[in-house]
Amino acid sequence: MKIFRGGTSAGPETPASSKPAQRLSRKSSGLGELARQLASEEVLCVLDLGATSPANIRYLTERGHKIYSEDLLVASTDPSLATKDEQGHPTLDAKRFLGDNLVYPNAHFDIVLCWNLADYLDESLVKPVVDKLWSMLKPGGVLLAFFHTRDAGPDAPCYRYHVVGNDLLEMQPIVPPREVKHGHTGTTHSAVGGGFRLQRVFNNRHIENLFRDFASIKFFLARDNVREVLVVR
């Protein structure tokens, strides 16, 4: 499963480091489905787990919803999370991570925008984070996540996703903010050079297992080697 796991930094040729401001537009079927829910008159609680996006905040607050922003990928680069597992291998302290992040009541959110988090997050954090998201979602709440296919390749850039229309996203290569520390546990940290490195590729079975506690899962295969997934608690 850890096809692209590697301890080395992304090279300087990483697009994120050379063209930080370039944005690409992309249709999103998953977002299109969510948009119908977001169009409701009810005030929804939405959690955006990507990099702080003015566009997303604008889009959601325009519709009267409450948005919570929390950049988990950046949070995962906190040096204090470094620890070792039972075999002495470097890993991240998931318990500590969840003590500092995703500190919300159970069944608090109607929608979680996960974007491509699972593809770039350290292996040790993925399952605990998904479990935590399950508990934070309301029954019937929806989570949107993107997963690269194998064809995307190990150098697939990590993007910020900006909602600019009901089914339209702008993708901007991530440039780590000035405070992001480079990973120091070798094989696990992913904040490197000009961006984050793809950690693994999930196939459909992996994705189904990852979200096995959820009530339903729906896949959308896009042309850009990305699968969009809508899961309902």
Per CB under 8 A, does 209 bind another protein? Answer: no
Which 8-state DSSP code applies to residue 174? Answer: -
Among 93, 104, 98, which residue's Cα sits nearest to residue 135?
104
Residue of the chain from 11, 153, 177, 186 that contacts another protein (CB under 8 A): 177
Per CB under 8 A, does 66 bind another protein? Answer: yes
> Which residue stretch of 52-60, 126-134, 150-158, 190-198 sits at the interface with another protein (rule: CB under 8 A)?
52-60
Q: How far is the CB of 22 from another protein (least distance, A)?
A: 11
Per CB under 8 A, does 68 bind another protein? Answer: yes
> Which residue stretch of 49-57, 86-94, 137-145, 208-216 sits at the interface with another protein (rule: CB under 8 A)?
49-57
* Structure tokens belonging to residue 15: 């697009």
Strand partners, 106: none
Q: How far apart are the first and last CA of the chain?
A: 25
Contacts 24+ apart (CB under 8 A), 49-52: 49/112, 49/113, 49/114, 49/115, 49/117, 50/113, 50/115, 50/117, 50/160, 50/161, 51/160, 51/174
Distance, CA of 45 to CA of 56 (rounded, Å):
13
Per CB under 8 A, does 67 bind another protein? Answer: yes
In the complex with another protein, which residue's Cβ is closer, 178 or 205? 178
216 φ, ψ to 5°? -150, 160
109-115 vs 90-92, strand pairing mode: unpaired
Per CB under 8 A, does 79 bind another protein? Answer: no
Per CB under 8 A, does 63 bind another protein? Answer: yes
Which 8-state DSSP code applies to residue 93? Answer: -
* Structure tokens belonging to residue 62: 């325009």
Residue of the chain from 35, 164, 168, 232 that contacts another protein (CB under 8 A): 164
Q: How far is the CB of 27 from another protein (least distance, A)?
A: 17
Q: How far is the CB of 66 from another protein (least distance, A)?
A: 5
In the complex with another protein, which residue's Cβ is closer, 46 or 145? 46
Q: How far is the CB of 157 from another protein (least distance, A)?
A: 18
159-165 vs 168-173, strand pairing mode: antiparallel
> Which residue stretch of 25-33, 50-58, 113-121, 200-208 sits at the interface with another protein (rule: CB under 8 A)?
50-58
